[in-house]
Amino acid sequence: MTTRRMISPDELEEIDLADPRLHAEYELDEVWRYLRAERPFYWQSERGSQPGFWVITRHEDAMAVYKDKEHFTTEDGNALSSLLTNGDSAAGTMLAVTDGVRHAQIRNILMKAFSPRMLRDIGASVRQTVEKLLTEALSRDECDFAHDVAGNIPLGAICDLLAVPHSDRRYLLGLTAHAWSSDYADAPPADSWAAKNEILLYFSDLARSRRDSAHNDVVSLLANSQVDGERLDDAELMANCYGLMIGGDETGRHAITGSVLALMRHPDQWQALKRGEVDLGTAADEVLRWTVPSLHGGRMTTGDVVVNGQLIRTGEPVSVWIYSANRDERVFDDPDRFDLSRKPNKHLTFAFGSHYCLGAHLAKIEVEAVLDGLRRMVGGMTQTGPEQWIYSTILHGMHSLPVSLQPDRADVATAGAGSAGTRRPG
């Protein structure tokens, strides 16, 4: 319903790919298509006081950067917002912006939190949450799917993993929604920093309370684990709780909201889902490829390196544009088609290599649960107002999507017979 102007490749030298307004207010598909075809390694020159940086748009080149731990590091930041300023203050402490031995040590600890048993339990809780939220949405004439439904699903899952008290969860959602993005173009940077600091302080207190506790949650795991006989320090505790909270909430929330917009705009795929013609796991991967909750990943070069014929020199910032790589014609057949049955689907939504997203499986569980809930419980969806896109250089999604959900009449009839939620499409 929202019409965003398509940026032409002719405007490439005038736009700034590190500008949040660009990604919220315009469509860049033609620019990405042109860069993949003609300038796969594009150097965006300085914009005022902002340094230049490499823009990598092809899937093959993105993979090459992600695989090369020798020449590319995240410790100067894993997003343009930090790469082009003063770096990332959490470098060397938070998993996402730590490399080398310490990265492997922290990752090994956190992997325990994503065990099959833990994910199975969280998955059951996610499905119950989806059922409840959709039931509530169906009972109203209209809802804001981004706020009323999608905003509560990943938040509940990651808070269950962290054992965050229920009374604190809405407070944390308000903070995570503004730590890396804004609902408005003119939001002051201080708002983002304030949100980040509030999250860090919250988890500092929570981790302190979990020292020497017998709780079975991620905060307790981090607070009581040891590496070479030493516990993680306070900075590592805060930073990694923060990283899990932001990553666990944002990816799933924007993918879920985006899935509903995509299904409304592609009625053939909505009908295929309703008829049970697509596998939920396969469909979830297509949602994640299509919605691209993270626009890009950032790296800094630690030494001169040639990537598929292109020389990149030491100390040059590199941005890998996941949005573009996920639509690379060399990898995906008919990449601009939303196809819930797409196989294979080698999307880079969760990155690749040593920094592959720890919560990837959890995010898929969340998207699958929503798709399953929609096909069982919802008969139709109508957009009732314009969607509102967030302002961010790295996150991609909506903070508002007004919709009206109509119940599935067969599901309503089944519910009346005393077996609500058990019907599956034939």
- CB count within 10 Å of CB 116 equals 8
Read off the pLDDT of residues 3-44 as tens digits, 9 standing for 90 and up: 799 999 999 999 999 999 999 999 999 999 999 999 999 999
Grade residue 411 by pLDDT with cuts at 50, 70 and 90: low
Q: How confident is the model at residue 193 (pLDDT cuts 50, 70, 90)?
A: confident
Residue spans of beta strands (DSSP E) within 8-50 = 26-27, 41-44
Give the sheet arrangement for strand 53-56, strand by strand.
41-44, 53-56, 317-321, 296-301, 72-73
Q: Are 377 and 415 in contact (CB under 8 A)?
A: no
Count the residues in the chain.
Answer: 426
pLDDT tens across 49-65, in order? 999 999 999 999 999 99
* Distance from C-alpha of 234 to C-alpha of 237, rounded to nearest angstrom: 5
Greatest mean pLDDT among 167-181, 302-316, 399-413: 302-316
Higher pLDDT, 304 or 206: 304
Q: Fold for 34-416, please state it.
A: Cytochrome p450 (1.10.630)
**Tokens standing for 132?**
């409840």
Please check the confidence at residue 410 and state whether its pLDDT lies above 90. Answer: no
pLDDT of 170 higher than 90: no
Average pLDDT, the chain: 92
pLDDT(48) > 60: yes
Helix (H) or strand (E) holding 398: strand 398-400
Q: How far apart are CA 250 and CA 177, in angstroms?
A: 7
Q: Is the pLDDT of residue 384 over 80?
A: yes
Q: Which of 371, 355, 358 lies closest to 285, judged by CA? A: 371
What gap in Å lies between CA 70 and CA 252, rounded to an integer?
31
Per DSSP bridges, beta strands 26-27 and 402-407 are unpaired
Q: Judge if pTM exceeds 0.75.
A: yes
**What CA–CA distance (Å, rounded) separates 201 from 115?**
27
pLDDT of 217 above 90: no
**C-alpha to C-alpha distance for 320 and 63, rounded to whole angstroms:** 9
Contact of 405 with 383, CB cutoff 8 Å = no
Q: 282 versus 191: which is more confidently predicted?
A: 282
Domain boundaries, the chain: 34-416
The mean-pLDDT minimum among 89-98, 179-188, 291-300, 335-344 falls in: 179-188
